[in-house]
Every structure is written in structure tokens, then in C-alpha cells.
Amino acid sequence: MTAPARTGGGVPSPARSSKPRERSLKAVPAERRRSAAAERAYARRAQRTSPKRGPAVTRQQAVAPKAPFVVMVMVVLGVGIAAIMWLATQATADSYRLQDARAEETRLARQVDQLRREVALAESPASLADAAAKLGLVPAGDPARLRQLPDGTVEVYGKPSAVQPPPPPTSSSATPPAQGEQPAQGQTTQPPAQGQDEAAQQAGGGQTPPQG
């Protein structure tokens, strides 16, 4: 494959070239019989001319806009640095605030935990019963049940049983009531008992409760 390329390349080259340097080369007989000195001279000329001309022209053109560009870059850099510093400060300040907020959150979460625990303990039936006993309340006895008939009369089912006075076995709740509280206890237990008696009397006198 290499041989045809070489022959192909050799034939059209003389016809195409139009640049002066090429033309001068073409003047040399086909087999390039240039001496070493001529070779060096060409090289020297090439070194002298070609690299210098281009840059010299462009440098002259770039001189004018250099100063504003530098100023602009400096301004951009300055603004950038200032912005970065400001942001960094803000970030640090925020991280402190975040830390504070986290600490506050932990504290509040613990408080919620604590309160949840207290509420759960306070609303458990056992502690409610204790609290009620301390107020002098006793569990209700067997109630009677009333039914109002369409004609307005009331039927009584069952016989209400009187509530026992506060039981003595709960020593902790029995001892605390001081002298001041005793009459209050009497008041809370007696009137219901009377009321129940009345209800029972009414039941006996008015409607006869169907048994069973």
C-alpha cells in the first residue's frame, strides 16, 4: 500500500505549488541536490523570518484594552473574595445557630419525654383511683336504673345499694385527712345515701319494679 502512495504523491506536486518558497524549491532539480550550506541558509532564513512576524503584530493590537481588563479582573476577584468571606461568616454564624437549635431540640424532646411519662402515670386508672380516694370519693355501688315510659312515668329497675364509707384499709389515704376535711367527707357521703333512700321509697310507693 505504501508504494502507490509514494508514486501518487510525487507526480502532482510540481503542478500544484504556487507559493514563492515552494517555487524556489521547485527550481531545484527533482532529486533535491541542495548542499549542506544551502540547507543551513534556508533554515536560518526560516528561523529569522517566520516566528517573529506574527507575534509582533498581535502584541501591538492588544496593548490598548489591557488596563481595563486587569481592573475588571481585580474587581471580580475582590468582589468574589468579599462574597466568599461574607458567606463563610454567615455559614459559621448559622452553624452556631444550628447547634443552639439542636441543643434546644434535644432539651425539648427530653422535656416532652418527661411530660409524656408524667401524663401517662397520672392518667393511669390506679393513680386516678388513688387521687379520687384522697378526695374522699368511693367506688359507686350497684346503681338502680331508670326508664322513662312514653306516658311520662318512670320505671325503676334494681335497688340501689348504699355506698360504703371510705374504706379503712388504704392507710395512706385514710390518715392524711385532717380535722378540717372530716366534715367535708361526711357531707359527700351522706346526701347521696339519703337521696338513694328516697329513690328507693319512691320506687316502692309508685311503680313496682318488675323483678328478674
Partner 1 sequence: MPGPSRGRPVRRPLSVRGPAPRKRRGGNSRVRLAVGRLLLVGALLLAGIKLVQVQGFQAEALSAQAEQQRATKIDIAAPRGSILDRNGNQLAFSVEARALYVVPKRMRQEWAEALEARPEIGSFEKRIADMAAFIEQTLGTEVAGQKTDRDTMLAKLSQDTTYVELVDNVDPAKAAVITEKYHNIGSEYRAVRVYPNGELASNIIGAANWRKDAEPPATHGLLGLEIAQDNLLAGSDGLRIVDTMQGDDVVIPGPDRSRELAAATPGKSLELTLDVDTQYAVQRMVTDYTTKSKARSGSAVVMDSRTGEILAMANDKTFDPNDFGNATEDELRNIAVTSVFEPGSVNKLVTAATAIEDGVYQPDSVLRVDGSIKVADRRIGDWWQHGPMDMTFTGVFAKSSNVGTLMTAQKIGQDRYSDMLRKFGLGKRTQSGLPGEESGYVPPLNQWSGSTFGNLPIGQGLNMTLLQMTGMYQAIANDGVRIAPRIVRAEVSADGSRKEVNPADTERVVSPQTAKTVRDMFRAVVQKAPGPDAVAQSGTGVPAALPGYQISGKTGTAQQIDPKCDCYSSSQYWITFAGILPADNPRFVVGIMLDNPTEGPQSAAPLFHDIASYLTQRYQLPLSAEQSPIVPLVV
**Which residues sit at the interface with partner 1, rule CB under 8 A?**
36, 39-40, 43-44, 107, 110, 113-114, 116-117, 120-121, 123-126, 129, 139-140, 142-145, 147, 157-159, 209-212
For the record, the C-alpha cell of 57 comes out as: 503584530
Q: Cα 94 vs. chain centroid, distance in angstroms?
A: 15
**Helix orientation angle between 125-134 and 66-122, rounded to the nearest 10 degrees:** 60
Measured CA to CA, the distance from residue 136 to residue 185 in angstroms comes to 6
Measured from the CB atom, the residue of 142 and 197 that comes closer to partner 1 is: 142
Measured from the CB atom, the residue of 35 and 171 that comes closer to partner 1 is: 35
Measured from the CB atom, the residue of 29 and 183 that comes closer to partner 1 is: 29
For the record, the C-alpha cell of 42 comes out as: 534556508
* Contact (CB, 8 A) for 182 and 174: no
State the nearest-atom distance from the C-beta of 17 to partner 1, in Å: 18
Write out the DSSP string of 140-180. --PPPEEEE-TTS-EEEES-PPPPPPPPTT-HHHHSS--GG
Q: Cα 127 vs. chain centroid, distance in angstroms?
A: 39
State the nearest-atom distance from the C-beta of 83 to partner 1, in Å: 23
State the nearest-atom distance from the C-beta of 147 to partner 1, in Å: 5
State the nearest-atom distance from the C-beta of 203 to partner 1, in Å: 11
Measured from the CB atom, the residue of 14 and 139 that comes closer to partner 1 is: 139
State the nearest-atom distance from the C-beta of 53 to partner 1, in Å: 18
What residue type is assigned to position 20 of the chain?
A: P
Measured from the CB atom, the residue of 97 and 107 that comes closer to partner 1 is: 107
Q: What pairs with residue 156 in β-bridges?
A: 146
